[in-house]
Amino acid sequence: MKVLVINGPNMNLLGQREPEIYGTKTLEDLEKLLTKEAEDLHIEVEFFQSNHEGEIIDTIHRAMIEKIDGIILNPAALTHYSYAIHDAIKGAGVKTIEVHMSNISAREEFRSKSVIAPACMGQISGFGFDSYVTALYLLKRG
């Protein structure tokens, strides 16, 4: 099984950006944790981060072409308005779980709605890095 983890805009700033919300661990720390969890589950995991919507869409398309088994997607701020990512997920047909480190429903009103979630298997938010770990386990279970 192969899973692609896609992180959107500003996720490269983890550990520096708003530590009171996102904590002090970095994107590299997240990738190390998920690599270890994936090894334990006998899953191959690949990581991608971009601050550009089109690159994220191209990566979702690539997941379809390469027959990736699942996607864990944190679209970050694109969550709230990227119908293009929504359409890419639906078009690719790859099982996708949307994740967020913070509880987007408990933050500013504009953050509470995801236009991407309806295209996904589900959404996990509010558990920091564990949002990703939970998604990994759920993809493994099918």
22 is a catalytic site residue: yes
What's the chain's length in residues?
Answer: 142
- From the list 22, 81, 83, 86, the catalytic residue is 22
42 is a catalytic site residue: no
Looking at the DSSP bridge assignments, the partners of residue 70 are 3, 95
Distance in angstroms (rounded) separating the CA atoms of residues 83 and 102: 21
Could you please report the per-residue DSSP string of the chain? -EEEEEE-TTGGGTTTS-HHHH-S--HHHHHHHHHHHHHHTT-EEEEEE-S-HHHHHHHHHHHHHTT-SEEEEE-GGGGGT-HHHHHHHHHH--EEEEEESS-GGGS-GGGS--SSGGGSSEEEESSTHHHHHHHHHHHHH-
- From the list 52, 83, 100, 137, the catalytic residue is 100
Which residues are the active-site residues? 22, 100
